[in-house]
Amino acid sequence: MPVDVLVGLQWGDEGKGKIIDILSPDYDVVARFQGGPNAGHTLVIHDKKFVFHTLPSGVIRHETVNVLGSGMVIDPITFKKEIETLEKENIPTRGRILISRNAHLILPTHRFLDAFYEEVKGDKKIGSTLKGIGPTYQDKIARVGIRVGDILKSSFVDQYERLKVKHCAFIDEERKSKIDAEEKLWMEAIDFMREFDLIDAEEYLSKRYDENANILAEGAQGTLLDINYGTFPYVTSSSTISSSACTGLGISPNKIRHIYGVFKAYTTRVGEGPFMTEQQNEIGELLTEKGHEYGSTTGRERRCGWLDLVALKYAIMLNGVNKLIMTKSDVLTHLDDIEVCTAFMDDNNEQRNYTEQYYIDGLKPQYKKLKSWSKDISKLKEYSEFPTEFNDYVDFIEGELGQKLWMISVGPERSETIMKS
């Protein structure tokens, strides 16, 4: 069976975790292909909230095998905590959570380096989650990092000590004094990881593909944080777009079928960087409050604004999306009006493309104003039950994108989801 890929189309926090949980009964395997504990995928199951930073979002479904792919960077301490959370809920983990031997490990010193690098940037800081992601990918590219498979070698401790010494040259004395305590927890978590199946993920996934298994590749963060195509330098340290599923899992492009793209009915962003439709006013505050827009990884308040169709078209183009999913539609209920960005305009009133905002000063968003709706849509079960104003909003988005929505989420629960087409 073909492989399907799911990605976020904005700056992350689009609700990918919920959507993967909904889709996962149709898949035998869910595999994450990039990122690390800078992700925060939230699932709400019967009023119980789960937040996963490292594990794939298929872990709640007992029948699904979950793979941590080669493109990931893994913090053993975070991994151990998430496994323990699942096991407290009597959710099986052994034999159904598999880890690529090629994934790289986040060391305690990587987190300290992350904080140091952010500090020295001063007012140019990027808003890092401080989880050690960037320094770990930096070591990977420099070919000095430690991979998961290395924990099985007799030389592992020596390899760890050499890299720690290298890192300590850039860490202040205050942070160095904290290493021993962190290192003890980290080594305990390494021992814990050894109890799991450490695999050649590319071989495993190829074998399952040949056995006609259904495989879903899960992306983290969002397209606009991609290291190559995002709002550089205010981006993450990995490639977040659909093609990275191939390199992050060792899957050939000709095996890909559907590409699910998830976006919010409005836009949010955590951290620094450009945000063309940001609303630093009562609207932004209202979206934050109604949407509970606080980062699941950092706890920081998210910046909020109107839906940006210029950015969304760009993200759809990059990913080749053929299954569009809109989330958090219910948050826009009871607003007086809704605005949607349809173009970026320069000082000469000429339209510019998405990436030109990085190189041309003074671009401004052009908005289309639409009516909101007063009817509570969170408990509706059929698309035909939606109010006219909501249908007008969807029709306008589809017309601008030239593509129909496939699924609409109207709340955090599994049941609060409508299949549109």
Residue with tokens 């549109």: 420
Domain that holds residue 154: 104-193
Q: Looking at 115-119, 241-245, 300-304, 344-348, which range is the least confident one?
A: 115-119
Catalytic residues: 13, 41
Residue 25, Ramachandran bin (φ over 0: left; ψ between -120 and 50: alpha; else beta)? alpha
pLDDT at 313 over 80: yes
Residue 246 CA to residue 256 CA, distance in Å, equals 9
**375 and 285 within one domain:** yes
Q: Which of the four pLDDT bands, split at 50, 70 and 90, describes residue 413?
A: confident
Q: What angle do CA 421, 61, 46 make, to 5 degrees?
A: 80
Among 140, 170, 193, give the residue marking a domain's end.
193
**229 and 178 within one domain:** no
**299 and 212 within one domain:** no
Residue with tokens 């980062």: 295
**140 and 11 within one domain:** no
Share of the chain above pLDDT 70, in %: 98
Residue 111 CA to residue 366 CA, distance in Å, equals 41
**CATH for 78:** 3.40.440.10
**250 and 334 within one domain:** no
**271 and 391 within one domain:** yes
pLDDT at site 133: 94
Query: Two tokens at 344?
Result: 């970026």
**399 and 289 within one domain:** yes
Q: Which of the four pLDDT bands, split at 50, 70 and 90, describes residue 39?
A: confident
Could you tell me which residue, 292 or 47, shows the higher pLDDT?
A: 292
Among 240, 260, 280, give the residue marking a domain's end.
260
Residue 24 CA to residue 247 CA, distance in Å, equals 22
pLDDT at 297 over 70: no
Among 234, 260, 286, give the residue marking a domain's end.
260
Residue 45 forms beta bridges with which residues?
A: 48
Residue 320 near residue 286 (C-beta atoms within 8 A): no
Query: Two tokens at 366?
Result: 């052009």
Residue with tokens 């698309």: 383
**CATH for 305:** 3.90.170.10
> Which amino acid would we find at residue 11?
W
When divided into structural domains, the chain yields a total of 3
pLDDT at site 242: 98
**37 and 21 within one domain:** yes
**CATH for 144:** 1.10.300.10
**205 and 121 within one domain:** no
pLDDT at 123 over 90: no
Q: What angle do CA 329, 272, 82 make, to 5 degrees?
A: 65
Share of the chain above pLDDT 90, in %: 79
Range of 125-129, 181-185, 305-309 with top mean pLDDT: 305-309
Which pLDDT tens digit goes with each residue over 357-394? 988 989 999 999 999 999 999 988 888 899 999 999 99
**270 and 256 within one domain:** no
**391 and 290 within one domain:** yes
**131 and 45 within one domain:** no
pLDDT at 40 over 90: no
